Amino acid sequence: MRYVRLGAVGYLNARPLVYGLEKRSDLFDLRFDVPSKCATLLHAGEIDLGMIPSIEYLRGPVAYRIVPDLGIMSDGDVASVALFTRVPLDEVRRIGLDTSSRTSAGLTRVLCRELWNIDPVFETVSPDAAARVEGNDAALLIGDPALFLDHEAAGFTKVDLGAEWARLTDLPFVWAFWAGRADAIDTGGIDALQHARDEGVANADAIGRAYAGVPPTPAPRAQAERGDLCSRYLRENIKYRLGDREKLGLRRYYELAAKHGVVDAGRAPEFHGAAERQTASR
């Protein structure tokens, strides 16, 4: 089986997809970064397969292939991708976009035009500045910072982008997936990644508690509550199987992203493996 350099996302929502892979040094060299960095590394050829924001599939220097039946999806509330606003949504005139995000930044632009009927100015800001909604009416925040931010204490309204996409399209949203060049991974590697996903999903509660630093012995209340939040998030908000409805949602996002200038042009997703490529081309 081919040895693969993997670039994974370090956020909680990606942990079930890499469950146990640190023990597969015979197959994978694994590193962790924010989503935008994973895409940059893949485009530069510094990794073979990246857990990239779904919009970056359309921006690669070559035609990438997606690893079948794997990804980070939501069907309704996602909890960890949101617009935090100081003012009512229809009064938003300036939005700060978290630099860690690319797919979510594109989705924000789509929702502004397709659903919210606003035409704000966009500014790229650091995650810290986004969490403070610094200098803007609203800010996009993704990943762990969005999940753990106490927006009510900060005086912000949280607008969940997964829920808003579902309201617009009645489809799931595909946030990220494993992708790389056509020869990046073989069948054995795909099987290993799918097995990691299955084991990760089965151990979601343990992953959530460990991520929150909850010890096996009774933990302080605040720490235990954080562990419960992490586990519940993995069980209820995030999906990991990229099925037919998810592919429809992905294609719809690509169509709208092209319509609103997020990308130059959309194209149908293609997958590693002959059977998946044939399905995607129909």
Cβ atoms within 10 A of the Cβ of 6, count?
Answer: 25
Query: Which residue is listed with tokens 């035409």?
Result: 119
pLDDT band at 215 (very low <50, low <70, confident <90, very high): low
User: Is-same-fold flag (4-73+175-219+244-281; 81-169)?
Assistant: yes
Helix, strand or coil for residue 246?
helix
Can you tell me the mean pLDDT for 118-133? 93
Query: Which residue is listed with tokens 């562990």?
Result: 227
Looking at residue 58, the DSSP 8-state letter turns out to be: G
Can you tell me the mean pLDDT for 137-159? 94
For residue 208, give the nearest of 16, 3, 4, 8 by alpha carbon.
Answer: 16
**Euclidean distance between CA atoms 99 and 107, whole angstroms:** 14
> Which residue type does 253 have?
Y
Strands across the sheet containing 138-142? 121-125, 94-98, 138-142, 81-85, 157-160
Retrieve residue 220's tokens: 């302080």
Q: Where are the domains of the chain?
A: 4-73+175-219+244-281, 81-169
**Euclidean distance between CA atoms 248 and 280, whole angstroms:** 10
pLDDT at 229 over 70: yes
Domain 4-73+175-219+244-281: state its class.
alpha beta
pLDDT at 275 over 90: no
Spatial contact of 133 and 147, defined as CB atoms under 8 Å apart: no
pLDDT at 31 over 60: yes
81-169: CATH topology: D-Maltodextrin-Binding Protein; domain 2 (3.40.190)
Spatial contact of 4 and 29, defined as CB atoms under 8 Å apart: yes
pLDDT digits (tens, 9 = 90+) for 171-185: 999 999 999 999 999
